[in-house]
Amino acid sequence: MDPQTAEAFRRIPYGIYVLTAQSGAETPAMIVSWVSQVSYSPPLLMVALRHNRPALPMIQDRGIFSLSLLGRDQKPLVEHLKKPTSQRQLSDLFGQTTLKGPSIIKQAVATWECRLFSHMEAGDHTLLIGEVRSTMVNPEGKPLTTADYGKTYIGQS
């Protein structure tokens, strides 16, 4: 990617989310920002994940995932979740879901529990389309965005 295109991509504002999947007792959590609503009826969300992410086969196998939109006051969680973290260390952050799916982040601005509706390859990422099955909203929360965080993911890792 040429430098000007990369800089233009860095200027696209995104929310910062925690995606969780589940496989047995394991609940991997990862930061994602490429998320968008893609349908009203049925309510569908799109999430882009790099092909090498450990959560991807779990989601494709189990057919469910959860998203938690972080609040501005949860900025420290971003760096915490980028580091290798044990399940025990993460348990304090998680709340229960209503559908027995992957955990959600406590005090998130909004959460979505999704059933995998479809997926497709898109370059070096896989697009997951999730049908929203359950949501929760924190009316007091203000979303954490890439502009607030000061960094934007453009696909280079």
Q: Tell me if 147 sits within 8 A of 13, measured CB to CB.
A: yes
Give the pLDDT confidence score for residue 86 in this predicted structure. Answer: 46
Count the domains in the chain: 1
Label residue 102 exposed, middle or buried (CB < 10 Å: 0-12, 13-18, 19+). Answer: buried
Is 154 contained in some domain?
no
Beta bridge partners of residue 148, listed in sequence order: none
Residue 38: which residues within 8 A CB-CB, separation 6 or more? 44, 45, 46, 129
Task: Classify residue 89 by its DSSP letter.
Answer: H
Q: What is the CATH number of the domain that holds 11?
A: 2.30.110.10
- Structural domain harbouring 21: 3-149
Low-confidence ranges of the chain (pLDDT < 70): 25, 83-101, 156-157
pTM of the predicted model, to two decimals? Answer: 0.86
Is 156 contained in some domain?
no
Is 157 contained in some domain?
no
